[in-house]
Structure 1
Amino acid sequence: MTTTATQTGQKSWIVALLLCLFVGMLGAHRFYVGKVGTAIVQILTIGGFFGIWVLIDLIMILIGKFSDKDGHALAR
């Protein structure tokens, strides 16, 4: 039996990566994976204190540790 953390969700890794790269300051990648609350906070803080949060999200997406709202890994 697998745990939720190791299951793969329906959201694409490459789409999340591209959204983070091009419109990450607006929280688009977080809206895409269903994390609406933190996406709104990301907008209000200009990408998480002028892009620091976006940079952390970008690294997390690249190394495969970014998940959707249900904790599922992004599909590669």
Structure 2
Amino acid sequence: MNNAPISTHNKALGYVLWIFGFTGAHRFYFGKPVTGVIWFLTGGLFLIGWIVDLFLIPSMDRQADARFAQGPYEYSVAWILLTFLGIFGIHRFYQGKWLTGLLYLLTGGGFLIGVIYDFCTLNDQLDELNKGA
């Protein structure tokens, strides 16, 4: 019997986000918001951390798969929606959070404060929704 965790995150998407990794995008995606903020503020830890992360993505993927619950809400879909349409709240609508989705839509993602908050907490939000489903 295989006891490996079911995949919740997509390694290929992690590598795509790594291209923008000096912004911390891949670290946020894999549930590492503290280092994501550090990468964002330091340009991928002065590009050195960004290069090292190229080799760390498989382990970050495994850690995310083990940490976050699988369920009806796909992490990759939510992250793509947040990354490209976050100011419109589309990721919030996807999660069934209609009130905050409308608020984001009317205020440009809560004047970007809400979008930044979601970059740091989206994995935990989805994990909670998936565990409750």
User: Fold conserved (TM > 0.5)?
Assistant: yes
Could you list the runs of 5+ residues in structure 1 that have no partner in the other structure? Answer: 1-5
Q: CA deviation at 1:38?
A: 0.7
Q: Stretches of 4+ moved more than 2 A in 1?
A: 6-9
* Residue from 88, 91, 95 that aligns with 1:26: 88
**Distance between the aligned counterparts of 1:8 and 1:22, measured in 2?**
23
* Residue from 114, 121, 127 that aligns with 1:60: 121
Q: Which one has the bigger strand percentage?
A: 1
* Residue from 67, 72, 75 that aligns with 2:129: 72
Contact 2:87–2:115 (CA under 8 A) maintained in structure 1: yes
Contact 1:8–1:72 (CA under 8 A) maintained in structure 2: no
Structure-1-length-normalised TM-score: 0.71
After superposition, the CA RMSD in angstroms is: 2.2
Total equivalences in the alignment: 64
Show the counterpart of 1:46: 108
Percent identity for Structure 1 against Structure 2: 36
Structure-2-length-normalised TM-score: 0.43
Compare CA radii of gyration and give the structure with the larger one. 2
Pick 1 or 2: higher relative contact order, CA cutoff 8 A, min separation 6. 1
